[in-house]
Amino acid sequence: MTDEQGTSGAILVVGGGISGLTSALEAAEVGNDVFLIDKNPYFGGRVAQLNEYFPKMCPPSCGLEINFRRIRDNRKIRTYTMATVESISGGPGNYDVTLEIAPRYVNSNCTGCGDCTAACPDEIDNPFNFGMNKCKAAYLPHEMAFPRRYVIAKDALSADGAAAVKDACKYDAVDLDMQSEKVTLNVASIIWATGWTPYDAAKIDNLKFNESNAIVTNMMVERMAAPSGPTAGKIVVPGSDKEIESIAFVQCAGSRDENHLEFCSYVCCMATFKQMNYIREQYPEAKIYVYYIDLRTPGKYEKFREKLMADENATFIKGKVADINVEADGTVTVIAENAITGNKVQQTVDMAVLATGMQPEMAEGGAPAGLTLDSNGFVLSDLQKGLIGAGCAKKAADVATTTQSSTAAALKAIQVSRR
Ligand SMILES: Cc1cc2nc3c(=O)[nH]c(=O)nc-3n(C[C@H](O)[C@H](O)[C@H](O)COP(=O)(O)OP(=O)(O)OC[C@H]3O[C@@H](n4cnc5c(N)ncnc54)[C@H](O)[C@@H]3O)c2cc1C
Ligand code: SF4
């Protein structure tokens, strides 16, 4: 156990996605000591997995890398990856927080040379690409990973694999005996920026996610469209090189549905318009069908919607998808009731994309001591206790809204630390 007491008024930020990065920087740049932790082996959260992000349609590196540089340059911020909160005691202004740090099996000698990956004979399903391809069991989580340090999936290593990765590392960075560690921090307040996880599409029985490779989720499309993704940027039916002649987007897949997520995830309509763009760039003639309850593109996003709705090869059908049939030839048939005509409509396509929503990460695991969640699992901030929600941990939102709420969270945390 290591004691790492923060100076009086230190702030702990749990979650290092765009929200946690923003809160950490805002608080540190006015002089507060900040501890920033993430359960992943890297910072950047879900934004790192996007191909491009609206409204500017730039790659995630354009927003994340500048934040990584600011974090690296700021001596007020201490970072921990593969770290989660094990326990919290004390009270506002004086919390003792014990972190559990999982073993990475690669120590700080790692230079990122990649020799261990080259030597490793064993593979795992690539977690960053939702298992759509394999990566080595000794790997860099993704090309933009910060910190740029490799990680080893020790359970997936064969005896030969273990020897090979150890021998390959010239810097003595591979440590397969590494154990989990505990670190205790003393902080005045805690910002919860734990973000979201894609709603589990397998839970939506009628949409048959597990029954066909031709039924994918919107986040899988983000990875496929990314040049560093499992198909080197080509959107195809996973597991084949089948090019797309027709595609259906199924909006509100599990969202606004009391059996799944009862709320609107705010970004899924925009994400679909963005992904229509990806399809158009690769398949200028493909037929696109969008099934929706309402199309929600607030404020400045209206222009984006108008542009894509003018696409002559795109059809928008107002109606909730009731079923998807998997056909013998690998195509899928989307069945819905048209809410305007009242008719049952069906369309066979090469691929169906389920626009699944953002479930708060804490919805499944529950709240740590002292923290209150609403019925959907979003954090309810408590300023008196100095426990503050930020970003998608608090409300499903786009990056712009998330960063605003994270700046606000930092200001609240600073107030608590200076009481
Ligand atoms: C298909 C799709 C496409 C999208 N495209 C866009 C777009 O183009 N433009 C846009 O503005 N928005 C887009 N979004 C929304 C965007 O992804 C979110 O606004 C953004 O990810 C919110 O950032 P966050 O930091 O709140 O959460 P996250 O990105 O989820 O980050 C949370 C971080 O917390 C960590 N964490 C979670 N639990 C713990 C824990 N217990 N302990 C420690 N760490 C933890 C996670 O590992 C993660 O790194 C899209 C969303 C979807 C579903
Ligand atoms: S662990 Fe060693 S071999 Fe692997 S990338 Fe790091 S320095 Fe290179």
The predicted-structure confidence for 368-408, as pLDDT tens digits, reads as follows: 888 999 999 999 999 999 999 999 999 999 999 999 999 99
Q: Which atom of ligand 1 is nearest to the CA of 356?
A: 53
Q: Which pLDDT belongs to residue 32?
A: 95
Nearest residue (CA) to ligand 2, atom 4 = 116
Q: Is 84 in the pocket of ligand 1 (CB under 6 A)?
A: yes
- What is the C-alpha separation between 261 and 377, in angstroms, rounded? 10
Residue 230 pLDDT class (50, 70, 90 cuts): very high
Is the Cα dihedral 379, 377, 297, 402 positive or negative? Answer: positive
Q: Is 398 in the pocket of ligand 1 (CB under 6 A)?
A: yes
Q: Is 139 in the pocket of ligand 1 (CB under 6 A)?
A: no
CB atoms within 10 A of CB 302: 11
Residue 304 pLDDT class (50, 70, 90 cuts): confident
- For residue 342, give every residue at least 6 positions away whose Cβ sits within 8 Å of its Cβ, in sequence order, or none: none
Judge whether residue 5 has pLDDT over 70: no
Q: Is 18 in the pocket of ligand 1 (CB under 6 A)?
A: yes
Q: Which pLDDT belongs to residue 417?
A: 87
Q: Is 15 in the pocket of ligand 1 (CB under 6 A)?
A: yes
Range 310-321 average pLDDT: 95
Write the pLDDT tens digit of every residue in 195-227: 999 999 999 999 999 999 999 999 999 999 999
Residue 241 pLDDT class (50, 70, 90 cuts): confident
Instruction: Report angle CA 96, 194, 173 to the nearest 5 degrees.
Output: 75
Q: Is 14 in the pocket of ligand 1 (CB under 6 A)?
A: yes
Quick one: 335 exposed, middle or buried, by C-beta within 10 A (0-12, 13-18, 19+)?
A: middle
Judge whether residue 7 has pLDDT over 70: no
Q: Which pLDDT belongs to residue 369?
A: 80
Cα–chain center distance at 139 = 19
Nearest residue (CA) to ligand 2, atom 8 = 113
* CA of residue 15 to ligand 1 center, whole Å: 10
Q: Is 196 in the pocket of ligand 1 (CB under 6 A)?
A: yes
Q: Which atom of ligand 1 is nearest to the CA of 391?
A: 26
Range 358-362 average pLDDT: 96
* CA of residue 280 to ligand 2 center, whole Å: 40
Nearest residue (CA) to ligand 2, atom 2 = 169
* CA of residue 132 to ligand 2 center, whole Å: 25
* CA of residue 399 to ligand 1 center, whole Å: 8
- For residue 299, give every residue at least 6 positions away whose Cβ sits within 8 Å of its Cβ, in sequence order, or none: none
**Closest-approaching ligand to the CA atom of 353:** 1
Residue 305 pLDDT class (50, 70, 90 cuts): confident
Residue 418 pLDDT class (50, 70, 90 cuts): confident
Q: Which atom of ligand 1 is nearest to the CA of 271?
A: 3
* CA of residue 405 to ligand 1 center, whole Å: 13
Is the Cα dihedral 401, 406, 411, 416 positive or negative? Answer: positive
* CA of residue 46 to ligand 1 center, whole Å: 4
Nearest residue (CA) to ligand 2, atom 7 = 110
Name the pairing type of β-strands 134-136 and 123-125: antiparallel
Judge whether residue 6 has pLDDT over 70: no
Q: With contact defined as beta carbons under 8 Å apart, do 291 and 250 qualify?
A: yes
Write the pLDDT tens digit of every residue in 53-106: 988 899 999 889 999 999 999 999 999 999 999 999 999 999 999 999 999 999
Q: Which pLDDT belongs to residue 246?
A: 98
- What is the C-alpha separation between 377 and 263, in angstroms, rounded? 11
Instruction: Give all domains of the chain, ordered by start, each with its CATH number.
Output: 2-102+180-195+361-417 (3.50.50.60), 115-168 (no CATH), 200-358 (3.50.50.60)
By percentage, how much of the chain surpasses pLDDT 90? Answer: 87
Q: With contact defined as beta carbons under 8 Å apart, do 216 and 235 qualify?
A: no
Write the pLDDT tens digit of every residue in 288-300: 999 999 888 877 7
Peptide bond connecting 103 to the previous residue in cis, omega within 30 degrees of 0? no
**Closest-approaching ligand to the CA atom of 139:** 2
Residue 163 pLDDT class (50, 70, 90 cuts): very high
Q: Which pLDDT belongs to residue 265?
A: 87
Kindly report the average pLDDT of the chain as a whole number: 95
> What are the backbone angles phi and psi of residue 396, rounded to the nearest 5°?
-65, 130
Ligand 2 interacting residues, C-beta cut-off 6 A? 106, 110-116, 150, 168-169, 171, 173-174
Judge whether residue 118 has pLDDT over 90: yes
* CA of residue 204 to ligand 1 center, whole Å: 22
